[in-house]
Amino acid sequence: MVDPRAELDSTVELGPGAVIGPEVRIGAGTRVGPYAVIEGRTTIGERNLIFQFSSIGAAPQDLKYRGEPSRLEIGDDNRIREFTTIHRGTEGGGMLTRIGNHVLVMNYVHVAHDCIVGDHSILANSTEIAGHCVLGEWVVTAGMCGIHQFSRIGSHAMLAAGSKVAQDVPPYAMVAGDRARLVGINAVGLERRGFSPELIAALRAAFRTLFYSKLLREDALKQVLEEHGAQPEVRNLIDFIRTSERGVVGRDRE
């Protein structure tokens, strides 16, 4: 059932029972599976695969939402699997939810209002992301992760299965547990993405100083900049920590 006001490229394929609302725009080569529902001010790019029973662009689960014309934007070459829910934004969060490019969203994932998900991220089964969260590029969540509202997950970070994240996760980190704690850097992921051994060693040394030394935070940040500040990735790590409002996930001190 396609509203005549919807804008669909002529190459879009729709499965039986799919529902497309009046303000939806879908780009070339995108396929929508049976009984998926796409509504609201939702823009979907090219070559996306949206599987059966997905709910895309529905009104947010926010009691402050009053029907404002918020939006959902989904980029190109994404795979959105069965029973996922992705909600559009709210006035209190910039009016926009955005999914980047080349993102895999597995079964039963929920992406709440005003979230930003970076390119090449993988959200495994039953990952639940509360409102106003920001995930950088190449973030990986294993199954059944939960991310608290307003949290940030840095680029190239990985969340182990069942992680419950209540603070910001630094880029390049690996975290696990309830509440999630730092367990090291995502070395395997960085190797797969072409990070050099020298850069991985610099990041590992930076994490050791920042999270495992007895230095005060500012002293640790200063030392890392002095020793490894020539690396843009290390400066990115420092900037992420300094701009954190919720605090950064730390190591288990037991």
Share above pLDDT 90 across residues of the chain, in percent, rounded to a whole number:
98
Mean pLDDT within 163-191: 97
- Bridge partners of residue 181, in order along the sequence: 176
Query: β-pairing, 25-26 with 41-44?
Result: parallel
In the predicted model, what is the mean pLDDT of residues 142-150? 98
* Average pLDDT value for residue range 215-238: 96
Give the mean pLDDT of 152-160: 98
- In terms of Cα–Cα distance, which of 20, 137, 43, 33 is closest to 89? 43
Per-residue confidence (pLDDT) for residue 126, from 0 to 100: 98
Across 34-46, b (16+ Cβ under 10 Å) vs e yields eebbbbbbbbbbb
pLDDT at 131: 98
- Within 8 A by CB and 6+ apart from 183, the residues are 160, 174, 175, 176, 251, 252
- How confident is the model at residue 15, as a pLDDT? 98
Strand partners, 110: 85, 128
- Global pTM value: 0.96
pLDDT of the residue at 254 = 56
Report d(CA 150, CA 245) in Å as an integer: 9
Q: 184 forms bridges with which residues in the sheet?
A: 174
pLDDT band at 224 (very low <50, low <70, confident <90, very high): very high
Contacts within 8 Å (CB) and 24+ apart, 34-42: 40/70, 40/71, 40/72, 40/88, 41/69, 41/70, 41/71, 41/72, 41/88, 42/71, 42/72, 42/73, 42/74, 42/88
Give the pLDDT of residue 3. 98
Q: What is the mean pLDDT of the chain?
A: 97
Return d(Cα 144, Cα 183) in angstroms, integer. Answer: 18
**Would you name the residues annotated as active-site residues?**
113-114, 131
Mean pLDDT of 91-118: 98
Work out the average pLDDT over 107-115.
98
Residue 252 confidence (pLDDT): 80
Q: Are 178 and 159 in contact (CB under 8 A)?
A: no
| Mean pLDDT on 229-252 | 95
Query: For 31-45, how does the pLDDT look when each residue is reduced to its tens digit (9 = 90+)?
Result: 999 999 999 999 999
**Which residues, 6+ apart, have CB-to-CB distance to 193 below 8 Å?**
138, 156
132 and 149 Cβ atoms separated by less than 8 Å: yes
Query: Which of helix, strand or coil describes residue 3?
Result: coil
Span 140-160, mean pLDDT? 98
Q: What is the pLDDT of residues 79-98, one digit of tens each?
A: 999 999 999 999 999 999 99
**Residue scoring higher pLDDT (168 or 252):** 168
Q: What domains sit in the chain, N to C, each tagged with a CATH number?
A: 7-132 (2.160.10.10), 190-242 (1.20.1180.10)
Average confidence (pLDDT) over 193-206: 97
Distances (CA, A) of 7 to 70, 96, 152: 18, 19, 33
